[in-house]
Chain A
Amino acid sequence: MTRDTDDLAQLKAALQRNPVSDPAAKRAALERAMAAFEKLEVPAQGSAQGLRPTPDRPKRAGFLSGVRSMFETLKLKPVLALSTSAAALFLGVAIFLPQGGFGPGLSDSSPIAAPDSAVIKEAPVLLAEPAPAPAPKPAAKRAPAEARARTEAVADNLRVERLVAPESEAAADDLGAFVLAEPMIAALDVPRAQVPASTEAFANAEANPVKVTANEPVSTFSVDVDTASYAIIRDALSGGSLPDPQSVRVEEMVNYFPYDYPAPDVGEGPFRPTVSVMPTPWNPGTRLVQIALQGRMPAVTERPALNLVFLIDTSGSMQDPNKLPLLKQSLGLMLSQLRPEDQVAIVAYAGSAGQVLPPTAAAERGTILAALDRLDAGGSTAGAEGLELAYKVAEGMGGKGEVSRILLATDGDFNVGIDDPEGLEAYVARKRDTGVYLSVLGFGRGNLDDAVMQSLAQNGNGTAAYIDTLQEARKVLVDQLTGALFPIADDVKIQVEWNPAMVAEYRLIGYETRALRREDFNNDAVDAGEIGAGHQVTAIYEVTAPGSPALLNDPLRYGTSDTTVAPQTQGPELGFLRLRYKAPDEDVSALIETPILAETPVTPDANFAAAIAGFGQLLRGSVYLNDWTYAQAIDLAVANRGDDPFGYRVEAVNLMRLAQSLSR
């Protein structure tokens, strides 16, 4: 402890010994300043140029900079899931967490949740009056996307020796340590080594603020089935440190877990929404509204042939045991899930891009595994070139009705030769129109460029997953392969209109990087997230009833007390949910609408999702949790563990316990 203090004190002392400014330089600078001042004063008050009051964050994709796509920070996670058995598992459940509170209760049948009468009373009009609205969240737009379900899998000769090698798991575990407790020392001993000076960039944005329904009744965002953030957090905690709050994306943590949501009936749309309302664990005065989407799981036998192109980063930085070796094992695992008529090709990039394996039928496993095994790390990264080649190969593999997808596997070193990350995104966005999907698998820590990976996957209509262990590889590439590889709905957007008579304030929990402008909801040219076969998406809002002591905003003294707010239904509807999606291959979106009712049963799934959302907010240092702590999150999660056949929930509880110890 004193040691630390000494180090910091030494650094401080050295830093404060800055050179004295040179009088000549100072004079010159002051003269320039005055000259600039006078020059500016002549044309008087124009609009100032070049003001940048907000800090820039060049590497962080997500931040508010209005640049279109960047801000949906994707994480790399459940990208590929194909397979049958997995069907049940990997349903994409989208739970949106709106700002107000989490409401996990799931109603089966059609989604309608009614608020508890206890909390939400008939609001007197006065109370429903608007309070000042918090700042708007950044709107995310993306370029139009049409998605097609044709993936070409090109598998050349990859060969993975041990599909499930026990030792490899140990190595894989080493990958994860996101933040090593002793980075410098760790760099010296081989297996754990991470890049000492981390150059990781995470995409994230400020947590969504509480909004006043009367001012801003409509909340719009894109679905997000990524789960990379959870893997990154797990990695950090397992390595003995709390994760960087910037790396925590609450919706990805919630979406990491499979839930038991009702699937769409035959003849219904590609997914089915379920809404539930429950008391907020951390605030007795609010409630959580959970919106869950369950994607349809097509019968396995009906799935179209798949064309996969593995685009593999073989740059020098990939040689750590938790990178290329883990990647080979992971892809090997996945091969067993492919069907004989599927095709696989492999393109490597590093130094010069090259096709390692021409399109090969998945039946020729030996050939594919051998090609994989020949991959060797070395050289610098030329991602753009490799990407072009991969698209070319994928386009050559496509057949009628087939699904083509590129799986980009990298540790994030994706910048050599790309002087223009935005150009790369634009390229990916253009290629999306050819029907080839792009998903990203992240490996290793140290210079993981989460922001670029998210942005690429988002623009490529794919998902981003982070693979830190062989177990995670199995979850993403085997159990959930179907959802990851077969899209069932593109550009899925969610819009909730809150009823000011029932909900005075709301807060969307998570989805900061997925915000859409209200008008973008109906604009089919604006891109949004995809849902794969069986995917589940969950979003959670924390909502506050009018008159509740938990309200954070005071009514406006000069607010309009007109009745324009009231003309809507005064019934038990908390709000109205609208979903837009496009069927793969379609350009025109379809609309699903359903009211959010106040009365719904609370399920263990909903409680568990709320526990995870609370956990994520604790890690982010949220100000909305009152005195709720890890202990309560643990209790809530343990009590609602449910079946948990794969042990994901137990793992989460253990991570909470770790975080609890580390935060003391």
Chain B
Amino acid sequence: MAIQGLPCALRLIGVMMMDSSDEFLATAAANGDRAAFAALVTRHYDRVFGLCWRLTGSRAEAEDLTQDICAALPSKLRGWRGEARFTTWLYRVVVNAAHDARRRNQTRGRAADGWGTWEIARQDAMSEDRAAMDWLAQSMQRLSSELRDTVALVLGEDLTQAEAAQVLGLSEGTVAWRMSEVKKRLRAMAAEEANL
């Protein structure tokens, strides 16, 4: 690969950024590398937004929350030690931010806890399949916030139970137990519907 002139070298750096691992970028960003930080946030915005949506059940809230997380990310990265996978670390940041938001909402006396404002959210033009989304909202509302967080990570983000446990700071056994609780609740819900 011949490098001809500076502009090309810059482009090459850009390309390398695209290919670099999350962990490499995060470490570079933590050390003040602006380009690395930009690449990192751009790469993960959608992922963060997706998890925020799964945790809150509302598009508007998810957008706000994601923006707050992005804004706080530079200072959070100061605590990046490269000890975990970057996505695991990032999930933890998101979950913590969602908990903080939940708590703030509670003190403001708002109906706190996520997946509760579905009636507004469903007006959203997004849903081509309203019935499925209604079912989702109903199911999520019947789970406690702990169970919802677990479900968002395990089912929504496709983490293994061990990874979810790491993100939530729980033992794997607790995550497994929570998932079995979720199963039971879903089964019970189905049974209820069948009886109606």
Contacts and interface: CB of A to CB of B under 8 A. Distances in A.
Interface of A: 3-4, 7-8, 10-22, 25-26, 28-30, 32-41, 44-45, 47-58, 179-186, 188, 196-199, 206, 242, 244-246, 419, 620-621
Interface residues of B, number: 74
A633 to B, nearest CB: 17
A180 B62 CA distance: 33
B85 interface: no
A640 to B, nearest CB: 27
B23 to A, nearest CB: 15
A197 B143 contact: yes
B192 A53 contact: no
Contacts of A199: 144
Given A15-B156, A621-B172, A4 B144 contact: no
A20 to B, nearest CB: 8
B28 interface: no
Contacts of A47: 78
Given A33-B41, A246-B174, 17 more contacts: A4-B186, A7-B190, A14-B139, A15-B54, A16-B155, A17-B129, A17-B133, A30-B42, A37-B73, A38-B34, A48-B75, A51-B78, A51-B79, A55-B99, A55-B168, A185-B192, A245-B171
A25 B63 contact: yes
A219 B9 CA distance: 58
Closest 9 CB pairs of A and B: A184-B188, A48-B78, A51-B79, A55-B169, A7-B186, A621-B173, A14-B136, A33-B70, A15-B156
Contact of B50 (A12, A18, A182, A183): A18
B124 interface: yes
Given A16-B156, A19-B59, A199-B144, A56 B99 contact: yes
Nearest to B79: A51
B63 A37 contact: no
Interface in B55-74: 59, 62-63, 66-67, 70-74
B75 A196 contact: no
B194 to A, nearest CB: 11
B35 to A, nearest CB: 11
Contacts of B171: 206, 245-246, 620-621
A138 to B, nearest CB: 13
B155 A196 contact: no
B32 A34 contact: no
Nearest to A51: B79
A184 B59 contact: no
B45 A184 contact: no
Contacts of B158: 16
B79 A48 contact: yes
Contact of B71 (A8, A11, A18, A33): A33
B37 interface: yes
Contacts of B144: 197-199
Contacts of B25: none
Interface in B20-45: 29, 32, 34, 37-38, 41-42, 45
Contacts of B136: 11, 14-15
B113 to A, nearest CB: 10
A36 B74 contact: yes
19 contacts: A4-B183, A16-B155, A19-B53, A25-B66, A26-B46, A30-B42, A30-B70, A32-B70, A36-B70, A39-B74, A50-B76, A53-B92, A58-B99, A183-B185, A184-B189, A185-B191, A196-B142, A198-B181, A245-B173
B67 A34 contact: no
A145 to B, nearest CB: 29
Given A33-B41, A37-B34, A51-B76, A21 B173 contact: no
Contacts of A41: 32, 34, 74
Given A19-B59, A25-B63, A199-B144, A183 B167 contact: no
A12 B155 contact: yes
B4 interface: no
Contact of A419 (B67, B107, B156, B170): B107
Nearest to A39: B74
B45 A26 contact: yes
A26 B64 CA distance: 10
B155 A32 contact: no
Nearest to B137: A14
A37 B37 contact: yes
A33 B156 CA distance: 25
Contacts of B66: 21, 25, 29
Contacts of A38: 34
B81 to A, nearest CB: 8
Nearest to A53: B79
Interface in B149-196: 151-152, 155-156, 158, 167-174, 177, 181-192
Contacts of B191: 182, 184-185
Nearest to A199: B144
Interface centre among A47, A50, A242 (most CB of B within 10 A): A50
B45 to A, nearest CB: 5
B167 A36 contact: no
B126 interface: yes
B45 A29 contact: yes
Contacts of A244: 174, 177
Contacts of B59: 19
A423 to B, nearest CB: 13
Nearest to B143: A197
Max count, chain A CB within 10 A of own CB: residue among B66, B75, B182? B75
Nearest to A415: B106
B118 interface: no
B75 A14 contact: no
B187 A3 contact: yes
Contacts of A35: 71
A180 B180 CA distance: 12
B45 A30 contact: yes
B132 A14 contact: yes
A12 B185 CA distance: 15
A197 B146 CA distance: 10
Contacts of B49: 18, 21, 26
B190 A3 contact: yes
A206 B62 CA distance: 31
Contacts of A19: 53, 59, 62, 124, 126
Contacts of B192: 184-185, 188
Given A14-B133, A419-B107, A40 B74 contact: yes
Contact of A36 (B50, B71, B174): B71
Nearest to A28: B67
A242 B184 CA distance: 13
B186 A22 contact: no
